[in-house]
Chains A and B, each alone.
Chain A
């Protein structure tokens, strides 16, 4: 099963809707609640990043018996230094974004911590793709 979501740029009231929907779906399928929470948290961080930094984009959620895969795609400014972006506390978020409670520079590290695998591919001025995977069945 594949679900598609559009993530509008800088729309704080919409951001988080996709994660909430996916969380509900996974719970209703009967996934373990701690796995559901890990997926929900990582997806919310991913959604916020696309909305705040990526200029809006797409999320693609793929469920199959072996894994849960979530891919975020945007065509925004890209990430010049991925290692730096992965550092806890590093953030380029604006004052406005911080006043909303975001921009602690914790999102990408938090996604990595909550997923079994995280892959980022990005090119400056072309965009960013972030892929998260949770393997099912195996103990993670």
Chain B
């Protein structure tokens, strides 16, 4: 699924990286704890999160996550937009809650969680 489609499905606005909107992603992960993202994410995913701070983008950069969606209408602040431009990360903001945002993407066919097997 292209990031452009993700933005449409989530009725989301771009705050950085709109020029990369044709990027393809195969998996998605919703999380508010960056420790969990670090521990479980295996593939290049789109990260949906309700957390908004520089650590989210740092974590994304270290894990080669190129797309971050802020849920519940949170809009990234300028410092985050600056970091995203430096790291080439796409930032989106959607008014949907975490549950509904994940649900909409799942329904649209983005079904892979992109995480390692959990015992």
Contacts and interface: CB of A to CB of B under 8 A. Distances in A.
A8 B114 CA distance: 33
A101 B39 contact: no
A104 B35 contact: yes
A101 B51 contact: yes
A41 B61 CA distance: 10
B55 A101 contact: yes
B11 interface: no
A110 B64 CA distance: 17
A interface majority secondary structure: helix
Interface in B50-105: 51, 53-56, 58-59, 61-64
A2 interface: no
Interface residues of B, number: 18
A117 B38 CA distance: 18
B32 interface: yes
B71 to A, nearest CB: 14
B34 interface: yes
A109 interface: yes
Interface of B: 32-36, 38-39, 51, 53-56, 58-59, 61-64
Interface of A: 12-13, 15-16, 19-20, 23, 33, 37, 40-41, 44-45, 98, 100-107, 109-110, 113
